[in-house]
Amino acid sequence: MKTVTYYTQHLDEAKAVASRCKLMVDQKLRTLDTGDFQEWQISNEGVNCQTARSVTEAALVRELVLKQSRPVVPVSTPKTSPPPSSAAPAMRYRSDNHKLNVGETLAPV
């Protein structure tokens, strides 16, 4: 019998066995009665089959979790520097302490 540790260290083999096992289990279910199927499940072949399938499924879950836990690197937009100060005329505002009424706005001098 092959262990979880073995299949974890030999993941390609586990995937191959798991792939064959799915077909084998379906075939065994069709051809064996309940008692014989249960006996097959506890045989070396049946245990290896289940172990390989479990390891393969766990590896897939682990892969998905790792993909989701990786930080997403945002696409950076090019930084633009502000225009030089001479590009736009400086706006001067009234500097006295005049309070504005609702309808008044500040206008350049």
pLDDT at 18 over 60: yes
Asked whether residue 25 is assigned to any structural domain, the reply reads yes
Distance, in Å, from the CA atom of 90 to the CA atom of 107, rounded to the nearest integer, reads 12
Asked whether residue 57 is assigned to any structural domain, the reply reads yes
Whether residue 91 contacts residue 53, with contact meaning beta carbons closer than 8 Å, is answered with: no
Domain tally, the chain:
1
Following DSSP, what letter does each residue of 30-46 receive, concatenated?
HHS-HHHHHHHHHSHHH
Asked whether residue 102 is assigned to any structural domain, the reply reads no
Span 51-100, pLDDT tens digits: 999 999 999 999 999 888 877 666 666 666 666 655 555 555 555 555 55
Asked whether residue 14 is assigned to any structural domain, the reply reads yes
Q: What is the dihedral of CA 88, 89, 95, 98, to 10 degrees?
A: -80
Asked whether residue 48 is assigned to any structural domain, the reply reads yes
Largest separation between any pair of C-alpha atoms in the chain: 100
In this prediction, residue 92 carries a pLDDT of: 55
State the average pLDDT over residues 1-16.
93
Asked whether residue 33 is assigned to any structural domain, the reply reads yes
Cβ-based neighbours of 105, under 8 Å, separated by 6 or more: none
- Mean pLDDT, the chain, integer: 79
Whether residue 52 contacts residue 2, with contact meaning beta carbons closer than 8 Å, is answered with: yes
In this prediction, residue 48 carries a pLDDT of: 92
In this prediction, residue 28 carries a pLDDT of: 86
Report residue 14's pLDDT band, with 50, 70 and 90 as the boundaries.
very high
Asked whether residue 97 is assigned to any structural domain, the reply reads no
Asked whether residue 96 is assigned to any structural domain, the reply reads no
Report residue 29's pLDDT band, with 50, 70 and 90 as the boundaries.
confident
Domain of residue 52 covers: 4-69
